[in-house]
């Protein structure tokens, strides 16, 4: 997803953009080996959706025509918060387009393929990024094509959207350049996912649902969205030893023992389609490229190669899309410079910092609530936790706070908007009530 969005961003500024992908790319919306996560629920947050529309004006139209399910926010999604109940159903006036990850990716790929100066090269595995002898200037890459032949491709800019960022790290390491610090939050999260046919008598009160666990005592969560083909995709999650079973009886029993019975009641008579898919996610990792003082000219890691977010919060694709939009703006601003690529990476790392930091902080605090989670707790951890609880209570009561909180969580607005004095007053009120209880 990062690579496709970036291709859209680069097409405005470079003569030729070549996307090298090690997988053969399917014509249909089906999972593939290079993205095993694509078998699991993927939500494209409205903030990411808008970034993709800015890059590809037909993205929303094409995703809708391909059968994605538009959910009116927040009415369409039942958010079950332990101890508080479901967040009230309110109309914020924007839509979440629900589709399988393979469909979201296929529609994004179609947009990139339509650009005349973008070429897809499937079946091509990048082996190495090549640079001048001191490693400070990138000259291209070496890749292996579908027939096993090694080829060299010269390039002015190499964007590493490989997900793991291994090519970038290998280059830095082999040329003796400083490596980025890594912040790691060990969550030991486990997913089991399957799909159901949406029954005709399904509830009309909600179309998607998130049943959050009662942390830190319990870690079982359930997340279900409608996708193309009249299906629900249901992911059951657990942490730190809780593994949702991957066989029918155990899976249903796990669903029955979530914080509420809403998901279980919805699926207990529904027809299951396909099997059970598992995914183990040990840790979120943020590589602090933004702290480096120098970086090779002509190289740029993006997306998961910079930061892998805990998937439960559904942020990764959207952050990647927002990074791509930022890169487009950055290249536009630098176009008149004598060498627009000189210092591009450091400027990108610095300007994209808020795009990464906000979602990282939003997921790190709830993740660190579990005592077993590995990672450094911020000094003000307890007060952040209290603040989050109070904000949620204020959102329950007040539609304006609810809307603002949703805008921040869905990456439409930066967290700073929550410092609005009217919102802060309501949060402070909740905090004092919580202290009195």
Ligand X SMILES: Cc1cc2nc3c(=O)[nH]c(=O)nc-3n(C[C@H](O)[C@H](O)[C@H](O)COP(=O)(O)OP(=O)(O)OC[C@H]3O[C@@H](n4cnc5c(N)ncnc54)[C@H](O)[C@@H]3O)c2cc1C
Q: Which stretch binds ligand X (CB under 6 A): 19-27, 69-77, 202-210, 334-342?
A: 19-27
Q: Does 43 bind ligand X (CB under 6 A)?
A: yes
Q: Does 34 engage in binding with ligand X (CB under 6 A)?
A: yes
Of positions 12, 14, 18, 22, contacts ligand X by CB under 6 A? 22
By the rule CB under 6 A, 318 interacts with ligand X: yes
Residue 98 or 331 having the CB closest to ligand X = 98
Number of residues that bind ligand X (CB under 6 A): 32
Residue from the set 76, 135, 244, 311 that interacts with ligand X by CB under 6 A: 311
- HEC per residue, the chain: CHHHHHHHHHCCCCCCEEEEECCCCCCCCCCCCCCHHHHCCCCCCHHHHHHHHHHCCCHHHHHHHCCCEEEEEECCEEEEECCCEECCCCEEEEEEEECCHHHHHHHHHHHHHHCCCEEEEECCEEEEEEECCCCCEEEEEEEECCCCCEEEEECCCEEECCCCCHHHHHHHHHCCCCCCEEEEEEEEEEEEEEEEECCCCCCCCCCEEEECCCCCCCCCEEEEEEECCCEEEEEEEEECCCCCCCCHHHHHHHHHCCCCCHHHHHHCCCCEEEEEEEEEEEEEEEEEHHHCCCCCECEEECHHHCEECCHHHCCHHHHHHHHHHHHHHHHHHHCCCCCCCCCHHHHHHHHHHHHHHHHHHHHHHHHHCCCCCECCCCCCHHHHHHHHHHHHHHHHHCHHHHHHHHHHHCCCCCHHHHHCHHHHHHHHHHHHHHHHC
Nearer to ligand X, 211 or 305 (CB): 305
Nearest to ligand X of 313, 381 (CB atom): 313
352 scored as a contact of ligand X (CB under 6 A):
no
Nearer to ligand X among residue 74 and residue 108 (C-beta): 108
Of 64-72, 317-325, 384-392, 397-405, the segment contacting ligand X by CB under 6 A is: 317-325
Q: 128 or 351, CB closer to ligand X?
A: 128
Shortest reach from residue 92's CB to ligand X, in Å:
19
Least Å distance, CB 146 to ligand X, is: 12
| Residue 314 touches ligand X, criterion: CB under 6 A | yes
Interaction pattern, residues 107-126, with ligand X; x per rule: CB under 6 A: ------------------xx
Residue 232 binds ligand X (CB under 6 A) = no
Contact call for residue 20 and ligand X (CB under 6 A): yes
Establish if 42 lies at the interface with ligand X (CB under 6 A): yes
Among 259, 290, 304, 323, binds ligand X (CB under 6 A): 304
Is 2 a binder of ligand X (CB under 6 A)? yes
With binding defined as CB under 6 A, does residue 315 bind ligand X? yes
Among 7, 9, 21, 323, binds ligand X (CB under 6 A): 21
CA-to-CA distance for 371 and 389, rounded, in angstroms?
Answer: 18
Which residues of this chain interact with ligand X, rule CB under 6 A?
A: 1-3, 20-23, 34-35, 37, 40-43, 125-126, 161-163, 191, 279, 281, 303-305, 311, 314-318, 320
């Amino acid at each position: 997803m990062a690579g496709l969005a970036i291709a859209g961003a680069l097409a405005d500024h470079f003569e030729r953009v070549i996307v090298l992908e090690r997988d053969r790319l399917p014509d249909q919306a089906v999972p593939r080996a290079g993205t095993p996560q694509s078998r699991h629920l993927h939500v494209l947050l409205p903030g990411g959706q808008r970034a993709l529309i800015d890059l590809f004006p037909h993205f929303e139209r094409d995703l809708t025509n391909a059968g994605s399910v538009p959910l009116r926010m927040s009415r369409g999604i039942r958010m079950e918060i332990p101890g508080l109940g479901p967040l009230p159903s309110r109309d914020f006036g924007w839509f979440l387009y629900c589709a399988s990850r393979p469909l979201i990716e296929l529609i994004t790929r179609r947009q990139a393929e339509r650009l005349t100066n973008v070429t897809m090269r499937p079946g091509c595995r990048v082996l190495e990024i090549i640079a001048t002898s001191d490693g400070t200037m990138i000259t291209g890459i070496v890749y292996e094509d579908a027939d096993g032949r090694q080829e060299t491709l010269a390039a002015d800019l190499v964007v590493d959207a490989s997900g793991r960022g291994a090519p970038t790290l290998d280059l830095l390491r082999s040329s003796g350049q400083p490596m980025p610090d890594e912040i790691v939050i060990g969550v030991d999260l486990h997913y089991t996912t399957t799909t159901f046919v949406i029954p005709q008598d399904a509830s009309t009160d909600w179309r998607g649902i998130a049943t959050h666990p009662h942390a830190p005592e319990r870690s079982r969560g359930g997340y279900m969205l409608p996708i193309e083909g009249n299906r629900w995709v249901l992911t059951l999650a657990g942490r730190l030893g809780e593994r949702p079973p991957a066989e029918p009886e155990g899976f249903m029993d796990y669903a029955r023992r979530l914080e509420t019975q809403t998901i279980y009641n919805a699926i207990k008579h529904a027809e299951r389609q396909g099997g059970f898919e598992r995914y183990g996610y040990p840790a979120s990792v943020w590589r602090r490229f933004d702290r480096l003082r120098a970086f090779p000219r002509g190289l740029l890691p993006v997306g998961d190669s910079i930061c892998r977010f805990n998937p439960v919060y559904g942020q990764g694709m959207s952050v990647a899309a927002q990074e791509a939009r930022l890169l487009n703006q950055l290249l536009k601003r630098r176009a008149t410079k004598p060498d627009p690529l000189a210092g591009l990476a450091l400027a990108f790392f610095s300007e994209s910092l808020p795009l990464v930091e906000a979602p990282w902080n939003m997921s790190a605090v709830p993740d660190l609530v579990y005592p077993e989670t590995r990672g450094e707790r911020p000094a003000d951890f307890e007060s952040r936790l209290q603040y989050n609880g109070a904000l949620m209570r204020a959102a329950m009561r007040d539609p304006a706070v609810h809307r603002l909180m949703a805008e921040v969580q869905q990456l439409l607005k930066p967290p700073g908007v929550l410092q609005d004095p009217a919102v802060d007053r309501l949060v402070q009120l909740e905090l004092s009530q919580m202290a009195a209880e």
